[in-house]
């Protein structure tokens, strides 16, 4: 089944997360700012793939999405308890090395990645993961000729820059949301266990399924890894905010994981 890109053009738009249990919810920003909570929402999606995005819906957004989409994959991870988890991944090499969030593939007994570049599905294996940074590397088996993402410089991102988040929202195919960067170097608390520092906050309205997807500049350069979506305090109402790990930091983790894997 192929699903066209859902171009979500509300005030400041969509993309973000994966399916987890309700008990996994919980990211809040410091109290010095308006209360915003980011959490992973439960969903029960079916994995779909769409290599070409319908441009007639919104030409500007569709052009940007078509530029980025070939370097993205949809991820379906089956957890050890049989529960499916969906997310998104960013292709790093022609051989199919993929960056995603650790929470997308946590406790997975099997992983499958479907390329938006060629529409093919691949079995994938875990290369390494970093739970504190919520990042993981997977390798698509027997993949070749993949189109790597064009990486930008997250250190150059400024508040008010327009960015877009692209990912497999609700497991229904790629969705895109665009809006301004609202805060940088943000520390968010993940439940009561740990903090994630240096996050990018933008009004790109991340949604379940797009975890591990790409936050990009309007030129299509990846500047962040979609990780959390904003919800109103004490509710599950989406606020329109999304949170991403800066790509510069993510690539440092990638280097560390690859080094550890080759020891």
Per residue in 7-62, pLDDT tens? 332 222 333 333 333 333 333 333 344 334 444 322 233 333 333 333 334 567 88
Measured distance CA(168)–CA(72) in Å, rounded: 9
134 assigned to active site: yes
CB 87 within 8 A of CB 104: yes
Kindly name the residue from 49, 103, 116, 228 that is annotated as catalytic.
103
Kindly name the residue from 115, 129, 154, 211 that is annotated as catalytic.
211
205 assigned to active site: no
pLDDT exceeds cutoff 80 at 146: yes
* 3-17, 96-110, 180-194: the lowest-pLDDT one: 3-17
Mean pLDDT computed over every residue of the chain: 78
Residue with tokens 């983790």: 253
Measured distance CA(14)–CA(210) in Å, rounded: 9
Mean pLDDT of 140-163: 97
Structure confidence at residue 1 (pLDDT): 33
Answer whether 6-46+150-251 and 73-149 agree in fold. Answer: yes
Could you tell me if residue 220 is left (phi over 0), alpha (psi between -120 and 50 degrees) or otherwise beta? left
Closest CA to 72 of 173, 219, 164, 180: 173
Measured distance CA(212)–CA(100) in Å, rounded: 4
Residue 41 or residue 183, greater confidence: 183
211 assigned to active site: yes
Q: Where are the domains of the chain?
A: 6-46+150-251, 73-149
Q: What DSSP state is assigned to residue 139? A: E
Q: Report the CATH number of the 6-46+150-251 domain.
A: 2.40.10.10
Q: Can you tell me whether residue 244 is helix, strand or coil?
A: strand
Mean pLDDT of 101-123: 95
Residue 187 or residue 184, greater confidence: 184
pLDDT exceeds cutoff 90 at 72: yes
Best CATH choice for the domain 73-149 from the list 3.40.50.970, 1.10.3720.10, 2.40.10.10, 3.10.580.10: 2.40.10.10
């Amino acid at each position: 089944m192929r699903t066209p890109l859902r171009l979500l053009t509300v005030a400041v738009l969509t993309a973000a997360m994966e399916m987890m249990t309700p008990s996994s919810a919980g990211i809040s920003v410091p109290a010095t700012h308006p209360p915003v909570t980011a959490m992973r929402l439960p969903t029960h999606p079916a994995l779909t793939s769409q290599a070409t995005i319908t441009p007639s819906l919104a030409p500007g957004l569709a052009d940007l999405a078509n530029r980025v989409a070939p370097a993205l994959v949809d991820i379906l991870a089956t957890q050890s308890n049989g529960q499916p988890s969906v997310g998104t991944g960013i292709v790093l090499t022609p051989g199919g090395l993929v960056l995603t969030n650790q929470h997308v593939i946590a406790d997975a007994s099997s992983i499958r990645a479907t390329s938006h570049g060629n529409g093919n599905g691949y079995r994938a294996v875990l290369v390494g993961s970093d739970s504190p940074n919520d990042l993981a590397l997977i390798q698509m088996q027997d993949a070749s000729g993949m189109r790597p993402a064009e990486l930008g410089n997250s250190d150059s991102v400024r508040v008010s820059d327009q960015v877009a988040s692209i990912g497999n929202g609700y497991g229904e195919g790629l969705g895109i949301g665009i809006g301004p960067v609202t805060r940088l170097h943000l520390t968010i608390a993940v439940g009561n266990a740990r903090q994630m520092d240096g996050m990018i906050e933008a009004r790109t309205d991340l949604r379940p399924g797009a975890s591990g997807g790409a936050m990009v500049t309007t030129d299509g350069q990846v500047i962040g890894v979609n990780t959390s979506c904003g919800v109103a305090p004490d509710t599950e109402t989406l606020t329109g905010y999304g949170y991403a790990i800066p790509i510069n930091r993510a690539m440092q983790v990638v280097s560390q994981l690859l080094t550890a894997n080759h020891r």
